Structure 1
């Protein structure tokens, strides 16, 4: 995309030249349009519940660990299908007794989110404290309806690094922030979902239909991990640090009285589940301005509301040592005083990659390495370490500017012996149709969207890779929110789990290799240029130019390529 928008993209992507041109064109309106954030905002500090073993979820962790006779105090389950991703979150909401803490880049107001937030509202009414920390960028238009949950008892929502201006128009908010484009480009990209400080989820997914296989136009192929035990304390500590940071603004400090009145008076949307109608006069969260069900609410959402939560007593758990890689909140702040630029989550990941002895497998939807990462790749290849990368093709990429940056590096990567694979946009090849829904098993079904959250299939939609993972020597698995690009390294805050487990790393590697074998092209550099090779037996063919990408998309990338700096992608 050319400019940030409230669309379904996970990343605010705008090439630097766009901002410069826009700033010049609107300079005359800048002075009057600029608005500012409130000063002297009251933020009541709060912390994670410090006795998780006193809850049912905490006792379940101890019971599962005792049954397994595990030495490690942390357990993990891969969430490699939309069914597992959705029902695991339901299980944490339903099981929570004391607290639910959510930290996300985006929560979209649509069918799947309505189910989750309605269950959270019910949890709050039974006494569970709910804290939601949300990056402010996407909280405009229909997605601003999510903020209505902040006015429920026992629920707090804070917005991180907010943009000043009205929520009805992202353009207006961007216009009011042109005096600080650098701050506007820095976003909180972390993704955490924590219950009772005992169980938590992290990975690539935001909350919304396209992340749970229910969108009619585009669905993301994604990967999460469910964590239990000691590692969750680290996740909660990270959440608390962001929650209590000066960049986290309570919703009530940002919404003006007319905005609050408009949000409160919106007529109620139709419930996704008649058996779970909200009580009293409290209105559902996800709704259109007209009060009708949003256009992308389908039968999928109706079924998903009735999906039983994952059975945490039977979910396969791998017990293993782990550590959390996470950026400091100051990385997103206006200055660099708090953050050592050599001590970010991505830099920690690169340090781990540097230790590889045999093999590195990488999934990164947006792969724009930059000079330092290219040096690392060259060093690995000189030592004989195999490096294989799965990223988006142009057709499957939701951010053409990112592809413009990535393609600059393809020839040099191929020349040094890095294997490059690009995922197809076709939903069947990506696993959107008839996927495994393995709920953490180490099947060979590929990183599959499986069926949609309620079981219906969305064969008409486009698949787009969104998983972020690195597997090192089939011994170390890193799963989180970070891409291997300069935006993740220099601008966005990120989080990821580093898990030392041969079995879990092998399971992840099997998923990646299934994607290589079934739904991705392998790139080759020949005397006549690049060639996209289809896997043996694939129902699609080799190609000599960006496969499946329409001409206008290829022309757009050609237009963007000379002007898009790597660090803005």
Structure 2
């Protein structure tokens, strides 16, 4: 029964204990649970992206930057390869937006980094910007439900996609009250889009929360986004509109009220700081919060988070841009609608990516945190290897993976992949890896140094473990594919995904250089030694080889062995 649980975005403190506790509860209590139901999807009014982006300052900036560059391509890109740049880009889009802000995410966590962005969205709405936020419903439980208070702000519209009926107190309660529709619970909107004025936008692997911006206290995700401008953003907006106007998108007000959110708030109030404000909230930040949203929506806005927001924002007028041809790979909402996946979805984003990979001539580099190929993908990899195409895969080690069940699925394929000549690398989880890879760009916002920059922006004491979360495919050093999709069956069959295919040797080489830095300094290469797997550390990397899952506890290794025979690939 454990395999029916969609992947969480954050690793629980004791995964082996939580997993078996959940399995026991499902087996012993599930049959006694009543079936909850959703209300009618009322008050859902269709709307679309702003139709004249060229009338806004951001649209005019795109035209001016293109003319200045003398570019023939109509779209421009900039890799956001450190956490400060990723946060600053979103703040810049909020600050510069004049007409619309459209956000589509799998998860938005109630923490300090998110509060900085939410306050920016509130301020934008007050100055007349229409804000639309589309959020997958699965993670809107516990303290993260408080993010939904933004739905009750003037000029803000917020919808939950494919909502799950029942309790929002915690994840176990949600699952227990939804056992009558396990198939529907598995289908999640995994897209990530952040769009301003239909002129500039961000997509990639990041959700919104501390762990995605280098400020997690236990874990930091190593991630990658791309900032886009020009024609391709209109394609991103069209994808957003398809989901926003779909019948599975429920206005928050249809599902719960401010009073419901009050009941879900933790009863303990945060300690007061001198001056009567909530602990960690500066007086200026507290004063700017609206009456309808208490400062305790996010229990603590840390001074460090406020300081990061106060840094010089990304300057879109001078930021380096790469002008290049591009297309958008985007699933349709029907992929996660009721009924059979293939009937509703047609060709998926993953199918398009696999077709592109099959055109490779000499090299494919895959960065995928969850890597459970399945037979169709394995057949593609086999064909590529038979043609002499070099294939390298960077994924999570067991210790760095936030989803042990997914690692159990991946482990089945390691030996066959090595047999066909695929080079497998697994990223370390050690805190020094997080410090090296999930860090701040030192205020330059140019992404220099490491896959994710240098140093950790706001991480607590350098003790947070690293977890790979970037989703990138580089083909022949010519195409860069960056988006929300993993190379696994969940992304292919269960989740909706979105990603950019950018035809640019310069951008592809930039992404490759970052990835190869990780391979050379913070990842093990898998080999066979005496008939067994062996984890080889890079020369001079400062950490040792390993003969079993490196840095993983005995309990975690045991959990994966127990899960292995029980976990269907397509549910991982």
What is the distance in 1 between the residues matched to 2:383 and 2:442?
38
Alignment correspondent of 2:52: 51
1:29 CA drift (Å) = 1.8
Partner-residue secondary structure (3-state), 2:190: coil
What TM-score, normalized by structure 1, do the two folds share?
0.92
Partner of 2:185: 184
Deviations 1:111-170 (A, max 9, x none): 000000001100000000000000001111100000001000000100000011132233
Structure 2 CA distance for aligned equivalents of residues 536 and 27 of structure 1? 51
Q: 1:63 to 1:420 in 2, by over 3 A?
A: same
Which of the residues 269, 278, 294 maps onto 2:288?
278
Confirm or deny that 1:490 pairs with 2:493: yes
Alpha carbons 2:203, 2:227 under 8 Å: kept = yes
Structure 2 contact 281–303 (Cα < 8 Å) conserved? no
1:100 equivalent in structure 2: 101
* Matching of residues 20-419 of structure 1 within 5 Å: 24-30=27-33, 33-256=34-257, 258-259=259-260, 262=263, 269=278, 272-276=281-285, 277-278=287-288, 280-284=290-294, 287=297, 292-293=299-300, 298-336=302-340, 339=343, 343-419=347-423
Report the CA distance shift for 1:435/1:306 in structure 2 as closer, same or farther (over 3 A): closer
List per-residue Cα deviations over 1:20-42 (Å, max 9, x = no partner): 87555335423xx2111012522
The 1:546/1:16 distance shift into structure 2, 3 A limit, reads closer
The number of aligned residues is: 557
Report the Cα distance in structure 2 between the residues aligned to 1:16 and 1:383, rounded to whole angstroms.
Answer: 42
**Is the contact made by 2:399 and 2:551 (CA closer than 8 Å) also made in structure 1?**
yes
Deviations 1:394-424, CA, capped at 9 Å, x for gaps? 1111111111111111111111110000000
Of 432-441 and 535-544, the range deviating more from structure 2: 432-441
Q: Residue 288 of structure 2: SS of its match in structure 1?
A: coil
User: Residues 34-72 of structure 1: CA distance to partner in whole angstroms, max 9, x if unpaired?
Assistant: 111012522111100000011111111111111001000
* Structure 2: tracts of 5 or more residues without a match: 270-276
Residue segments in structure 1 that go unaligned for 5+ positions in a row: none
TM-score, length of structure 2 as denominator length = 0.92
Which of these residues, 440, 457, 473, is aligned with residue 476 of structure 2?
473
Which position in structure 2 is the counterpart of 1:507? 510
CA–CA distance in 1 between the matches of 2:237 and 2:281?
31
Contact 1:46 1:240 in 2 (8 A): yes
Q: Name the structure 1 match of 2:10.
A: 8
Matched, 1:428 2:432: yes
Query: Is 1:539 the equivalent of 2:553?
Result: no
Q: In the superposition, relative to structure 1, how do residues 498 and 238 fare at CA in structure 2: closer, same or farther (>3 Å)?
A: same
Distance 1:262 1:27 in 2: 25
- In terms of mean alpha carbon deviation, does 124-133 or 332-341 score higher? 332-341
* CA distance, structure 2, for counterparts of residue 143 and residue 265 of structure 1: 11
Does residue 448 of structure 1 match 2:457?
no
Query: In the aligned structure 2, how far is the partner of 1:391 from the partner of 1:536?
Result: 19
2:109–2:208 contact (8 Å) kept in structure 1: yes
Structure 1 counterpart of 2:467 = 464
Q: Confirm or deny that 1:567 pairs with 2:570.
A: yes
**Bigger share in helix:** 2
Describe the shift of the 1:540–1:40 C-alpha distance in structure 2 as closer, same or farther (beyond 3 A). Answer: closer
After TM superposition, give the deviation of residue 256 of structure 1 in Å.
4.9
